[in-house]
Structure 1
């Protein structure tokens, strides 16, 4: 195993509910209410896709998607700055990876400005690939291929850890071995990932042997 590639939202930190709060606040500002079905369909998607689902669910496709995205990021940033809860087992695994000197990348669909806030909780990574810094977001393989290239390691020797279908598809398409730990939405069993309920009890020996 040459490196570990971590997704962020829903994988390392339990931030999806914070996104839910800011989405509902934005919907309220627009005089509407976001359905739970639409919110769950937004999990793991890039911002343009999320804003398309958001506006369609509200019946307000006429709104400026870029303006809505800017407002959503601002609202979510305020919540991120108050502190981010870890997903079960994530801190322990990340701490062991760092202590062992294994290269680690953060590969997320979230924009860099929010990731900077999250890093106050997460700590440093050898490489960070953000959603607004690649030409193609998950489920395209580009984010994970970019991380492996920046680390200087073969993607086939990397283990990626993801919570969403789009993230798993991205890592699988790139050629990584993938552990899926669903958070908000169940992961289908036919994606090609090794599925676990959480990262509790997962250590380096497990990553090297699965």
Structure 2
């Protein structure tokens, strides 16, 4: 079994890593488009998962030729409702958070999501005391793949980024963590098929397979 040197701290991505949000993102987009009279997603519907709300809605509105401010306003309403009621944790997420918390591993949450969604996700995960720091979209000037979110987490914890481990599920997230100087574990059901995750030092298909620290 793979093992990893114990880091000074671990920084977790949120959407797709700890909570399963891809399905509710698509549903929020579908309901938003319906409000503008568009009844189905195009076959080449743009992939916006992991981009953050505003860049994702900007791409959506450009693709479907909608007014961006109006689209963003409508999307926020659908996203807030679904985020508050439909979030579920990824396989192994709660068990891993509890394990690391009980082992005394310091942890931060680093997300491109808005603070309301981040808090909804923390409630869904229901692991009190897991995270010392939460870095959300409103706390940085540049989102992933910029290293700024992970550097912010390191600053918050008072830990050198080189002594931290990031856990990510997207190419932009892996790029962000590596650019910040952190080691990275990529987790995705198709992790070995996704070339954008190839730069991560460790790749696993599920958090259930997360290595032990030595």
Which of the pair is proportionally richer in helix?
Answer: 1
Question: 1:59-81, CA deviations, whole angstroms, 9 ceiling, x for partnerless residues?
Answer: 22xx0x34422332221221122
Q: Which of 177, 195, 200 matches 2:208?
A: 200
Which of the pair is proportionally richer in strand?
Answer: 2
**2: CA distance, partners of 1:189 / 1:50:** 19
Question: 1:141 matched to which residue of 2?
Answer: 147
- Gap runs ≥5 in structure 1: none
Contact 2:25 2:49 (C-alpha < 8 Å) held by counterparts: no
Question: 1:165 matched to which residue of 2?
Answer: 171
**2: CA distance, partners of 1:82 / 1:48:** 21
Question: 2:109 matched to which residue of 1?
Answer: 106
Rate the CA distance shift 1:190–1:15 in 2: closer, same or farther, 3 A: closer
**2: CA distance, partners of 1:48 / 1:79:** 17
Contact 1:34 1:57 (C-alpha < 8 Å) held by counterparts: no
- Give the Å deviation of 1:159: 0.9
TM-score by length of 1: 0.87
User: Structure 1 residues 135-144 or 183-192, which shifts more?
Assistant: 183-192
TM-score by length of 2: 0.86
Aligned length: 202
- Gap runs ≥5 in structure 2: 1-6
Q: Which of 135, 138, 143 matches 1:132?
A: 138
What is the RMSD computed on CA atoms of the aligned residues?
A: 2.0
Q: Which of 118, 123, 138 matches 1:120?
A: 123
